[in-house]
């Protein structure tokens, strides 16, 4: 029997678990536990005390062996040390289960290729935690980037107490490489790189210059031995400049404006827009207004003085 005008909404709850609840994994557990359509079915960690603490804080269970989760949940988040990523993720991908794995995906290209191929063969959802690509400021800036010719990136931080099993390229620079490759739609034609181990046996500070076939050049610097924390990327393109502060989630755009004053042509640098984190989030969620329409605009002379 069918009644007209009658509809039934079914809420589907996704059962997920987090494997590895250290520096990043604990945040995955906290966020998943707070999501209305997700059941955090358990957490796994080789540190029993830490697993108990995170499980109690998020009202879930401790699972002693990750293998117990195969077939019992819809998917898992893998946030273990990089060296174990492939071994931990493999059984779930073989079972066709969804896997979100923290960056870097694996410790070698061979392991990464194996995981990608396995996900393809088993029709499994497989994602890597490149979170900066989804930073609201990056989403807001994308429409402003028309033809980047030079990109400057600085990702600097103090010496960490984690991720020392990988070098600074895998630990930090990988975020910016992902963002750059998602914006510059051109093959890489040349790579020049230098890295120095300072406080660990692995590279702690690195500089990379990428040249693309389009002519765009990207200079990336990453350090985990700096005093101050910096997370910035700057785009230079014909007659405009766009700067993103990842940490503050702010975007600023400057553009050359030419106007005739008598017989002369006056050239000024105009700050077209400045978008803060709230405006960036609104733009990133596509609420129907262009990013610059959300922002405060003002005219600035080329030396930065406000002319209004």
Tokens encoding 254? 């400057």
Q: Is the pLDDT of residue 188 over 50?
A: yes
pLDDT of 263 reads 62
Output 188 or 254, whichever has higher pLDDT. Answer: 188
Residue 299 in this model has a pLDDT that exceeds 60: no
Three-class SS of residue 209?
A: strand
Q: Where are the alpha helices (DSSP H) in 108-218?
A: 109-122, 136-141, 168, 174-183
pLDDT digits (tens, 9 = 90+) for 195-217: 999 999 999 999 999 999 999 99
pLDDT of 298 reads 33
Homologous superfamily of 147-235: Dihydrodipicolinate Reductase; domain 2 (3.30.360.10)
Query: What is the pLDDT at residue 301?
Result: 30
Whole-number Cα distances in Å, 17 to 32, 81, 104, 113? 9, 17, 20, 24
Q: Which pLDDT score is estimated for 11?
A: 61
> Which CATH architecture is the domain 14-129 placed in?
3-Layer(aba) Sandwich (3.40)
Q: Are 15 and 74 in contact (CB under 8 A)?
A: yes
Find out whether 179 and 138 touch, Cβ atoms under 8 Å.
yes
* Mean pLDDT score, 72-86: 96
Q: Please, which pLDDT band fits residue 258 given cuts at 50, 70 and 90?
A: confident
Q: Which residue ranges make up each domain of the chain?
A: 14-129, 147-235, 238-308
Are 257 and 270 in contact, with CB atoms under 8 Å apart? yes
Mean pLDDT of 72-76: 97
CA gap 46, 293 in Å, rounded: 50
pLDDT per residue as tens digits for the range 92-151: 999 999 999 999 999 999 999 999 999 999 999 999 999 899 999 999 999 999 999 999
Looking at the chain, the whole-number percentage of residues with pLDDT higher than 90 is: 69
Q: What span, in angstroms and rounded, lies between the C-alpha atoms of 308 and 306?
A: 6
Question: Given this model, what pLDDT does residue 295 score?
Answer: 35
DSSP 8-state assignment for residue 22? S
Between 11 and 125, residue with greater pLDDT: 125
Local structure of 235: helix, strand or coil: strand
């Amino acid at each position: 029997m069918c009644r007209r005008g009658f509809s039934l909404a079914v809420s589907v709850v996704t059962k997920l678990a987090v494997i590895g609840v250290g520096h990043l994994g604990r945040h995955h557990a906290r966020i998943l536990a707070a999501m209305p359509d997700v059941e955090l079915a358990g957490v796994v960690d080789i540190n029993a005390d830490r697993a108990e603490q995170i499980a109690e804080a998020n009202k879930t269970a401790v699972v002693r062996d990750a293998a117990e989760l195969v077939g019992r949940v819809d998917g898992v988040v893998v946030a273990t040390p990089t060296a174990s990523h492939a071994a931990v993720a493999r059984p779930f991908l073989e079972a066709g289960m969804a896997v979100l794995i923290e960056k870097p995906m694996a410790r070698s290209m061979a392991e990464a290729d194996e995981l990608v191929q396995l996900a393809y063969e088993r029709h499994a959802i497989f994602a890597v935690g490149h979170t900066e690509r989804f930073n609201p400021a990056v989403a807001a800036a994308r429409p402003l980037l028309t033809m980047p010719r030079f990109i400057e990136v600085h990702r600097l931080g103090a010496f960490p107490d984690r991720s020392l099993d990988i070098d600074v390229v895998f630990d930090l620079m990988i975020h910016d490489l992902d963002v750059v490759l998602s914006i510059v739609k051109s093959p890489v034609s040349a790579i020049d790189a230098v890295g120095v181990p300072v406080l660990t046996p692995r590279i702690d500070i690195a500089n990379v210059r990428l040249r693309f076939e389009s002519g765009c050049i990207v200079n990336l610097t990453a350090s985990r031995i700096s005093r101050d924390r910096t997370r910035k990327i700057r785009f230079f393109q014909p007659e405009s400049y766009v700067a993103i502060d990842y940490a503050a989630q702010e975007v600023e755009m400057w553009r050359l404006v030419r106007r005739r004053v008598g017989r002369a042509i006056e050239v000024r640098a105009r700050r077209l827009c400045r978008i803060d984190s709230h405006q960036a989030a609104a733009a990133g969620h596509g609420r129907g207004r262009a990013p610059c329409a959300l922002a405060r605009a003002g005219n600035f002379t080329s030396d930065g003085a406000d002319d209004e």
